Amino acid sequence: MLKSSTCKWHSYGWIGMLCCLWLSALGQPSSTSFGNVYVGKDGAMSFFGTHTFVSPGGIIGTERDPGTGQYGRFLLQPGASVAGVANTAHVDGYVTKVGSASFVFPVGSHGRYRPVAVTPSGSASVTAAYFGVDPNVAIVPRYGTGVNYSTTLPQSTSGVATYYASFTTSAFSTTQVQTVSNKEYWDVDGTDPARITLTWDTNSDVSALTGGDVSRLTIVGWTGSQWVALSSTADATSILGSPSSLSAGSITTNAAIVPNLYNVYALASVSYFVQLSLKAYLQGAGTLATNPAMATADGLMRDQLRSLLPVTEPYTNLGYGSVTSVPAVVPAVFSVTGTSAIVDWVLVEVRDPASTSVVLQRVPALLQRDGDIVASDGVSPVKINVPAGNYFVSVRHRNHLGVMTATALSLSESPAALDFSSSSTANYGTNAANATNAQAIINGRRYLWGGNANGGDGVGGGRNTVLAQGLGNDRSTVSSLVTNASGNTNGLITYVLPGYSASDVNMNGQNVAQGLGADNTFILNIVLSHPGNGTGLVTYSVTQQLP
């Protein structure tokens, strides 16, 4: 049996490749490249374990043939990985990854490592390459020769290949894109939906592209005739390992897309966004933990969940549909105390003025004790990627009933003030019995109705009502969570389960079914005291006032 697990390539080319395949077949998965390895057109070099690129000079080239549209591939099988990638050690050409795991493609060109990453939803292979050249000209070097030629990206329709020679950066919808980068682009091919991540460095000149505002950066895809903006957000921590900034970072699409929908991808800037300076109160945190009808003595919300809050927004996992990705919260934000202390994550929505049930953007944000809603940096107004115009605005929470403006508001880049806790802000309401009770009113202030232990978006098991008794009621949800908790070995109904959960409707960091400060008592009091429940029925349903 071979003892070595390393295959070193020097100038052997195809011999080095065969050596690696032989070792892999014998169960020795790792390999190493020192450069001078080249994969010809329509060829593939396959890897089954960890491949290490050694700097300097550890660049593997794959051919991009201008005559046939064929290309060589650095092929990584399921479970394979790479290490040691750098500007002087990567794949100059195409890389194919097989399997369903998220992967950072070790691609680059012109001595620049410029990875692209995918988070697939299926197991189909994905192929990617980086082109560090102007998309308008689309000229790439043939690796190792210094000879340039027009790029050919094979696209097949019914078996007929079509080759695209350039991608005009001036061809885009002016309502979507402001400027497309003339520095670089990526080819990403695959059939399963995936979130795509692109990177930038100082050569990308993102500062000039966005006017010094990273929030304007977006990913665009080439349809064959123009560039289209894809909803995307700069990553707080880039796949390069450092915080994203104007000089270097990464950006990821907010939703999964089929890579083959677009011929190539590039960086661009969007010309629009709107900002909101919002304010809202949650009944669960803004009233006494033992009594939802009595406001806290200081008039602020409690921040008892602050030490339990997740640094990433919870709404994507709760089934709220397509939620805009926002940067993770840095620890310093959750360390703030006083009126600006963070209470919890909320979800801000802008809705179509012509059809209020159509949500155009859902943006997670942070709620402070004084009701201010801010971006995930803890201080900035909420920024939403839609053109200036008139929109309905709603605020939602994971265990409260949402609220929306009664009319469309004029929004622009100048932050628009909107206070849902004020009686002067008209709320939307469609239920005749509850139209004027879209929120709870306590001491003249409005609070989003609490008690929605079932949470969610009204789909996938979630409900948009507060029920104290009956099928699928919220108190049963709390009781089930408590009695079935792994630490509650005796199944006691009085067990206190700590943690961040939708069942903690009074937001004190504890899930309690029975006893002092019980969440079930909180739910019952909300139902019995609701203004629409004139006869005090325990079976009454408090219904969310959203379309």
Q: Buried b / exposed e across 101-121, counting CB within 10 Å, b at 16+?
A: eebbbbbbbeebbbbbbbbbe
Token pair belonging to 24: 């892999």
Single out the residue in 271, 298, 314 at which a domain terminates: 271
For 80, 123, 158, 160, the CA distances from 190, given in Å and listed in that order, are 18, 10, 16, 18
Single out the residue in 245, 271, 297 at which a domain terminates: 271
| Mean pLDDT of all residues belonging to the chain | 84
* Mean pLDDT value of segment 55-75: 73
* Mean pLDDT value of segment 417-433: 83
Under 8 Å CB-to-CB from 375, ≥6 apart: which residues? 326, 365, 366, 381, 382, 383
What is the pTM (predicted TM-score) of this model? Answer: 0.61
pLDDT band at 456 (very low <50, low <70, confident <90, very high): low
pLDDT band at 5 (very low <50, low <70, confident <90, very high): very low
**pLDDT for the residue 161:** 39
Q: What angle do CA 495, 499, 500 make, to 5 degrees?
A: 135
474 and 371 housed in the same domain: yes
Q: Is the pLDDT of residue 156 over 90?
A: no
Q: Give 458-502 pLDDT, tens digit per residue.
A: 544 457 899 999 998 999 999 999 999 999 999 999 999 999 999
Distance separating alpha carbons of residues 52 and 276, to the nearest angstrom: 48
**Structural domain total, the chain:** 2
Higher pLDDT, 45 or 23: 45
Q: Is the pLDDT of residue 391 over 80?
A: yes
305 and 386 housed in the same domain: yes
Domain that holds residue 516: 275-543
Q: Give 318-371 pLDDT, tens digit per residue.
A: 888 888 878 789 899 999 999 999 999 999 999 999 999 999 889 999 999 999
Q: What is the dihedral of CA 307, 310, 312, 317, to 10 degrees?
A: -160
282 and 403 housed in the same domain: yes
315 and 198 housed in the same domain: no
Q: Is the pLDDT of residue 226 over 70?
A: yes
Under 8 Å CB-to-CB from 448, ≥6 apart: which residues? 280, 281, 282, 283, 395, 397, 400, 401, 402, 403, 420, 439, 440
371 and 470 housed in the same domain: yes
504 and 426 housed in the same domain: yes
Does residue 233 lie in a domain region?
A: yes
* Mean pLDDT value of segment 132-141: 72
Cα distance from N-terminal residue to C-terminal residue, the chain: 68
Distance separating alpha carbons of residues 347 and 365, to the nearest angstrom: 6
266 and 302 housed in the same domain: no
227 and 287 housed in the same domain: no
Does residue 316 lie in a domain region?
A: yes
184 and 282 housed in the same domain: no
181 and 315 housed in the same domain: no
Q: Is the pLDDT of residue 104 over 80?
A: yes
Does residue 113 lie in a domain region?
A: no
DSSP string for residues in 220-269: EEE-SSSEEEE-EEE-SB-TTSSB--SSSEEEEESS-B-GGGSS-EEEEE
**pLDDT for the residue 250:** 95
Does residue 22 lie in a domain region?
A: no
255 and 353 housed in the same domain: no
396 and 262 housed in the same domain: no
